[in-house]
Amino acid sequence: MNEVERVLAIKDGDHQAFINLYNEYWSQVYDFSRLYITTIADAEEIVQDVFVKLWESRHLLKEDENIKGFLFIVTRNIVFNRHKKKVNENLLKTSVLSAFGHESYYNSTSVEEDYCASQLKIFIDKLINSLPEQQRKCFLLSREENLSYREIAERLGISQKTVEIHMSKALKFLKDKVKRGWEILLSLLSF
């Protein structure tokens, strides 16, 4: 079954076509969500949400829909919406507690945690800055301006496929380096 046939089958409610798609893309969507989500359970929940969203909106799929692109855009949107919701909840809690003079109950992060977070941000910023120029531009437009690959391609005057290649290489590089840095940190802390 080619992609067009699969899209049409899913659009028509074919459960087996959907299960096959789920089995084919589950690990890729999971790995992508783990770039943003730290806990396994949360990442697995996001993957489930992504496939539920696909099933619920299957009637909107176009015959020539890029399923992989669709899945990654939905994943990104779900992750960003969750982060936005958490930030808003934290702001509300902080403002309520501070209105009653109890900020210290909510603000439980230690100096060490703040320092580690700032060092991690510095480390990741250095990694991003070390990317080749086009990869860095694509990555920053995607992550900081939330542009789609199509929008990035238009802005940079390159093809969408080139953007996909740059993003794939950038994400692999960052994932490998962050993972390696994390392993080194854990080995140092174990002594």
CB contact set of 163 (below 8 Å; sequence gap of 6+): 138, 149, 152, 153, 156
102 has pLDDT over 60:
no
Q: pTM of this prediction?
A: 0.47
pLDDT score of 119: 67
d(Cα 96, Cα 140) in Å, to the nearest integer? Answer: 34
pLDDT score of 108: 45
pLDDT score of 171: 87
Indicate the pLDDT class of residue 181, thresholds 50, 70 and 90. Answer: low
Do 28 and 77 fall into the same domain? yes
| Structural domain for 8, as ranges | 1-107
CB contact set of 166 (below 8 Å; sequence gap of 6+): 134, 135, 138, 139
Do 135 and 90 fall into the same domain? no
Domain boundary among 80, 107, 134: 107
Do 9 and 80 fall into the same domain? yes
d(Cα 62, Cα 150) in Å, to the nearest integer? Answer: 17
pLDDT score of 23: 94
160 has pLDDT over 80:
yes
Do 95 and 114 fall into the same domain? no
| Residues 41-98: tens digit of each pLDDT | 888 999 999 999 999 989 888 888 888 888 988 888 888 877 666 654 454 445 444 4
Do 83 and 12 fall into the same domain? yes
List the CATH number of the domain containing 188. Answer: 1.10.10.10
List the CATH number of the domain containing 90. Answer: 1.10.1740.10
Do 119 and 99 fall into the same domain? no
